[in-house]
Amino acid sequence: MKAKVKLNLVKAICTSCKTEYSFLTSADKIHIDICSNCHPFYTGKQTLVDTDNRLQKFNDKMSKNTSISSVRLSKKERLIARKKEFSDKKQAKDGKLTLKDMLASIK
């Protein structure tokens, strides 16, 4: 055990409610995400703490997903689009048209 432990007065600020705290500790730095002033357990209010913009990122992600699902094609339409895409790739690769591709382009 150390004979003398050097204690420093370290100030830390809660990132959620910006309340400042002082600690007598041997640590150099203290990081507080949520404290008793702003934690829902102590306040009784249900709030979403968004320290890293995760809530905004989630909402952005969900809005993208809903826009994709609204344009979602039926199974048959997806199959046709996939076949067309495949034939286009094949044409670009070979530079020649097959009879099947020509028939597909007529339809």
Tokens read off for 104 = 């597909």
Minimum distance between the CB of residue 16 and Zn ion, rounded to whole angstroms?
Answer: 4
- Distance CA(26)–CA(5), nearest Å, equals 7
Of 40 and 105, nearer to Zn ion (C-beta) is 40
Which of 10, 12, 13, 35 is the binder for Zn ion (CB under 5 A)? 35
In this structure, are residues 64 and 58 in contact, taking their beta carbons and an 8 Å threshold?
A: no
Q: Is 25 in the site for Zn ion (CB under 5 A)?
A: no
Q: Is 12 in the site for Zn ion (CB under 5 A)?
A: no
Cite the beta strand spans of the chain per DSSP E: 8-13, 20-25
Reference 25, options 12, 6, 7, 39; nearest CA is 7
Of 41 and 63, nearer to Zn ion (C-beta) is 41
Which of 26, 37, 43, 65 is the binder for Zn ion (CB under 5 A)? 37
Minimum distance between the CB of residue 61 and Zn ion, rounded to whole angstroms?
Answer: 27
Of 8 and 47, nearer to Zn ion (C-beta) is 47
- Distance CA(38)–CA(18), nearest Å, equals 10
Residues that bind Zn ion (CB under 5 A): 14, 16-17, 35, 37-38
